[in-house]
Structures are given as structure tokens and as C-alpha cells.
């Protein structure tokens, strides 16, 4: 039997070569598959990319709190929901409270430096400082998410004595938590101090991933601009001029769209994580005075 592999091509043309259109489609198919793979990765891992908690055990954190002048702050069930440094009960100055909703990294006791900063900025007030611990952070059980953060903040606000005017101090993602809490408790919140805020976390994420439909897949969007529509008290916004994580334009938009009493402070030559230790005392005093004296 003759070997069919030796039979000449009747047309004499040899194997057909892929056309330019075929090659283009092959390249596009690879690009689309890579794009879809990246999209799937972001969709599945988004919360681990947003939330960066530090963890520790309760006993270690209690010792750390004591060395920093704080005590565990517990809810009615006896669970630790954060840490607090209370004003002396016999302090003759008018009392006020600051509830801190911190950023997406670390844990509550990493923010104890606010005590000296805030009390220096408000020497005529007896300030009690409360720092919320988020679910999934420190020794607190639970998983980080927008819903869990907002529930924790609402619970924490309810634990502060009703006689105290309360300022919410949010930093970064905590500014979204503060805006939502003020929206849900407008009569209880005396003012907002927002450090490196955004109008929406979805807009910030879209800025960092411009080629992906982030707004469609982001579960925790923190729409601060929408939440603030239900709040009409004073809002002080502090932006880092050179912020590479939450560019200042997003905080400027939040300031522009807010229609209540507001103050904007821009820290020059500052990046996202610089404000706590580099914002000068006069700027802190300006913000706190604005909020407490309205």
C-alpha cells in the first residue's frame, strides 16, 4: 500500500498559513483570558486586599493598653470593642468625646498617640478618647467588611454616655465608617474630623485599576458622599497633598459636595500615612476648634 504521506498536495500550495486577522484574534483571545483571570482574582481576593488587620491576643493587648494609658472598652455583653482613655471625673472643663474609626491596617492601640494630639488641640475641653476595634482586628472576633465595620461603629457610639457631645474622627477607610455612622446617628454626632477621606472607595479603586470594571465587582464601596447627604453638622476634612493611596482629589470632591458647615485643610508635602505625626499642632487646633465651637 502506498504511503499517503508521500502523495503530493494536489494544489501544490502546502499548508495554509494563518492570516493577519487570525493572528490578531489569537492575540486578543490571550489578552481577554488574562483580563478575565485578573478580574476573577480581584473579585475573589478583594477583601484581603482592602483590609490589612494586625492580630494579637487579648491579654497582650490589655497589657499594651495599660502601658499607653488606655483601658479595654467593653460593650454590655462584656466583649472588648475597643480601648478608651477617659477624662478625669473631677475635671471642671466642659466634657466631650472623640470616637476614632481608624484606617484599614494595624489595630486600635496603634492610634493611642491621638490622645496627646487632641487634648493639646482642645485645652479648654475635658476630652475622653475612644478607639474602636474593628471585627477581625486585634483580638476581636469576626471578619472585616463594610457591614461589620458599620455595625461595630453604631454599637460603639451607643456605648458612649449620652451626655457627651461626640466627634467622630475617621482616617482613610475609617472616614467612610464615620460618614455612615453620622448619617445613621445625625442627632448624636456633633461633628466629623475626616483624615484623607474619599467620596467613594469605589472611585479610589477605579483610579488604581482603570482598565477593570471595579465598580461592578467591589462589594464594599463605602459611598461616603451619599451617606453625608443625611448629615448636616460640621465636617472638617484634612487632606495629604501628595497622597498616593487616596489622591487628594477624592477628598476635595467630598468637601465640594457637602452642603453643611465645613472646613478644608490641606497638608503640603504629605503622603497618606503622614498626617498623624506630621500635621502641625495649629492645624489640629484649627480643625478641633471648628468642630467644638459650632
Go through 9-34 and write b for each residue having 16 or more CB atoms within 10 A of its CB, e for each that does not. eeeeeeeeeeeeeeeeeeeeeeeeee
Cα–Cα distance, 45 to 153 (Å, whole number):
24
Average pLDDT over the chain, rounded to whole? Answer: 91
The predicted-structure confidence for 260-293, as pLDDT tens digits, reads as follows 999 999 999 999 999 988 999 999 999 999 999 8
SS (H, E, C) 174-211: HHHHHHHHHHHCCCCEEEEEEECCCCCHHHHHHHHCCC
pLDDT at 21: 78
Contact 220, 145 (CB under 8 A): yes
pLDDT at 197: 98
Compute the C-alpha angle 80/86/92, nearest 5°.
160
Is the model's pLDDT at 156 over the cut of 50? yes
The predicted-structure confidence for 202-257, as pLDDT tens digits, reads as follows 999 999 988 778 888 889 999 999 999 999 999 999 999 999 999 999 999 999 99
Percent of the chain with pLDDT over 90: 78
Phi then psi dihedrals of residue 206, to 5 deg: -65, -35
pLDDT at 7: 47
State the alpha helices, DSSP H only, in 17-172.
20-50, 58-67, 114-121, 146-159
Cα–Cα distance, 96 to 189 (Å, whole number):
11
Domain ranges of the chain: 51-292
Is the model's pLDDT at 48 over the cut of 60? yes
Is the model's pLDDT at 136 over the cut of 80? yes
Architecture category of domain 51-292 in CATH: 3-Layer(aba) Sandwich (3.40)
pLDDT at 26: 74
Pull the grid cell for residue 197. 477621606
Amino acid at each position: 500500500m502506498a504511503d499517503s504521506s508521500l502523495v503530493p498536495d494536489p494544489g501544490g500550495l502546502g499548508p495554509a498559513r494563518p492570516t493577519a486577522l487570525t493572528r490578531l484574534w489569537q492575540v486578543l483571545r490571550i489578552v481577554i483570558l488574562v483580563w478575565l483571570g485578573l478580574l476573577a482574582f480581584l473579585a475573589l481576593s478583594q477583601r484581603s486586599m482592602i483590609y490589612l488587620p494586625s492580630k494579637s491576643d487579648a491579654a497582650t493587648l490589655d497589657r499594651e493598653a495599660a502601658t499607653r494609658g488606655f483601658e479595654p472598652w467593653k460593650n454590655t455583653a462584656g466583649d472588648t470593642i475597643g480601648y478608651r482613655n477617659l477624662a478625669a471625673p473631677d475635671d471642671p472643663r466642659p466634657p466631650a468625646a472623640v470616637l476614632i474609626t481608624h484606617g484599614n491596617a494595624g489595630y486600635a492601640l496603634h492610634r493611642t498617640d491621638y490622645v496627646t494630639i487632641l487634648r493639646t488641640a482642645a485645652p479648654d475641653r475635658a476630652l475622653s478618647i475612644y478607639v474602636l476595634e474593628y471585627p477581625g482586628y486585634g483580638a476581636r472576633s469576626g471578619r472585616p467588611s463594610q457591614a461589620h465595620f458599620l455595625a461595630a461603629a453604631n454599637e460603639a457610639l451607643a456605648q458612649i454616655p449620652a451626655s457627651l457631645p461626640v466627634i467622630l474622627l475617621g482616617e482613610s477607610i475609617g472616614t467612610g465608617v464615620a460618614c455612615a455612622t453620622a448619617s445613621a446617628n445625625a442627632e448624636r454626632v456633633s461633628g466629623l474630623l475626616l483624615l484623607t477621606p474619599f467620596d467613594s472607595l469605589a472611585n479610589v479603586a477605579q483610579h488604581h485599576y482603570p482598565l477593570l470594571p471595579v465598580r461592578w465587582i467591589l462589594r464594599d464601596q463605602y459611598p461616603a458622599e451619599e451617606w453625608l447627604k443625611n448629615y448636616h453638622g460640621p465636617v472638617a476634612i484634612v487632606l495629604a497633598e501628595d497622597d498616593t493611596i487616596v489622591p487628594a482629589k477624592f477628598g476635595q470632591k467630598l468637601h465640594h459636595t457637602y452642603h453643611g458647615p465645613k472646613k478644608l485643610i490641606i497638608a503640603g508635602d504629605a503622603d497618606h500615612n503622614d498626617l498623624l505625626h506630621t500635621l502641625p499642632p495649629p492645624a489640629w487646633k484649627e480643625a478641633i476648634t471648628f468642630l467644638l465651637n459650632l
